[in-house]
Amino acid sequence: MEPLISIITPTLNIVENGHADEFNLLVSLLELQTYPRIEHIVIDGGSTDETVELLKDYKNKGYINFFAEKDYGKFNALNKGAMHAKGKYVAFISCDDFYHDITGLYDAVNTLEAENADFLFSPAYCRHPEGYTFLFMPAMLNAFQAMPCARQGMVFKRSMLEEEKYFDEKFRLMSDLDFIIRILMKRRKGVFFDTNFVTYKLGEKTYADEEQCINETKLIFHKNFRSLYPLNDDTLDQMARLSLFPKGLLDKLVTYFDPADKDLFYERCDQMHQIRMEHYKNNK
pLDDT averages per 10-residue partition of the chain, 284 residues: 97 96 97 98 96 96 93 93 98 97 98 98 95 96 97 98 98 97 98 98 76 96 98 97 97 98 98 91 74
CATH class of 5-224: alpha beta
Phi, psi of 200 (to 5 degrees): -130, 160
Please give the Cα distance from 95 to 18 (Å, whole number).
11
* pLDDT for res 70: 86
Beta strands in 45-84 (DSSP E): 65-68
Give the CA-trace dihedral at 207, 216, 211, 132, to 10 degrees: -10
Q: What is the pLDDT of residue 284?
A: 63
| Interaxial angle between packed helices 210-225 and 175-185, expressed in degrees from 0 to 180 and rounded to the nearest 10 | 20
CA atoms within 13 A on the CB side of 153: 29
What local confidence, expressed as pLDDT, does residue 222 receive? 98
Residue 206: what pLDDT? 67
Are residues 164 and 183 in contact, defined by beta-carbon separation less than 8 angstroms?
yes
Q: What is the pLDDT of residue 209?
A: 83
DSSP string, 205-267: HHHH-HHHHHHHHHHHHHHHHTTTS---HHHHHHHHHH----HHHHHHHGGGS-GGGHHHHHH
46: left (phi over 0), alpha (psi -120 to 50) or beta: left
Please enumerate in sequence order all residues whose Cβ is within 8 A of that of 239, keeping only pairs 6 or more positions apart, or say none: 145, 217, 218, 221, 231, 245
DSSP SS3 for 272: helix
pTM for this model (two decimals): 0.95
Residue ranges covered by each domain of the chain:
5-224
φ, ψ for residue 232, nearest 5 deg:
-105, 180
- Give the pairing type, strands 119-121 and 190-192: parallel
